[in-house]
Amino acid sequence: MSAETVLITGSSSGIGLELARLFAADKSNLILVARSQDRLEALAEELRESHGVGIVVLPHDLADPAAPQAICDATKGSVVDVVVNNAGFGAVGAVVDLPLQRQLDMLQVNITALTHLTRLFLPGMIERKRGGVLNVGSTAGFQPGPGMAVYYATKANVLSFTEALAEEVAGTGVKVTCLAPGPTATGFGVDSGMERSLLFRLGAMDAATVARRGYRGFRRGKVIVVPGLKNKLGAFAVRFAPRSFVRKLVKRLQG
């Protein structure tokens, strides 16, 4: 069997970059997707030199509704075995204060593009009876998030979608995993405006550790991977706390 080919969105930095390194170390060929072509080319060169794998660079902005189909069309000559839906972003602020287009773009990137790419490549995986989908969600998906309402809602969608999809493809040979990290030291904190929040000040994991645990969980066929004991406890505890308490607590942590 030839080496697997893995498509990774948001692969120019953070968790996506670290996942690319892990798949490359496992001798997977890569299709790297992100907005920055320069960063993608630099990563591609690094991984070719260190692991000798084949790499295709596809610079696309997933906020463009046409991007998923364009990505699929560009891979017609390859069999994509694994899709890693890592691209995503957030923004701190009330729904009424944040720019409308930024929130609509968030929905497009975090939910619509993820779903679109999954649907485009999943039939081939099922037909071949191998491969998988690794969706990068967040512990934000386990509760509502006043102050980041749209972001938290998108990650709840990712978690729910992944769990349901995993059950739908059970027995086909296809793995489906949601990696749900808590605060992580990437560019996300700065880009979203969360770097000074109490949530981040309580501690953030490093991206390499998060990626490694997600990678191992995916390889083992785990449906949900929450890295870190603190994050696991938080995701578990909200199941038993009153929803009104959870809302107020998250609002304070966002401050």
For 152-164, the pLDDT digits (tens) are: 999 999 999 999 9
What's the mean pLDDT in 83-98? 97
Does the pLDDT at position 129 exceed 70?
A: yes
What is the per-residue pLDDT for 237? Answer: 83
Residue 196 pLDDT exceeds 90: no
How confident is the prediction for the chain on average, in pLDDT?
Answer: 92
How far is it, in rounded angstroms, from Cα 186 to Cα 210?
11
Please report, for the chain, the start and end positions of each structural domain, with discontinuous segments joined by +. Answer: 5-254
Q: What percent of the chain has pLDDT over 70?
A: 93
Inter-CA distances, 115 with 21, 156, 165, 233, Å = 24, 13, 11, 28
pLDDT 10s digits, 38-64 = 999 999 999 999 999 999 999 999 999
What pLDDT does 242 receive?
Answer: 82
Instruction: Indicate if the pLDDT at residue 200 is higher than 80.
Output: no
| Predicted TM-score (pTM) above 0.85 | yes
Q: Active site includes 151?
A: yes
Query: Residue 255's pLDDT band (boundaries 50, 70, 90)?
Result: low
Kindly tell me if the per-residue pLDDT of 102 is higher than 90.
yes
Residue 114's region, left for phi above 0, alpha for psi from -120 to 50, else beta, is alpha
Q: What is the pLDDT of residue 189?
A: 55
Fold of 5-254: Rossmann fold (3.40.50)
Catalytic residue, chosen from 151, 161, 188, 218, is: 151
Buried b (16+ CB within 10 A) or exposed e, 25-46: eeebbbbbbbeeeebbeebbee
Q: Quick one: pLDDT at residue 243?
A: 81
**Mean per-residue pLDDT for 183-201?**
63
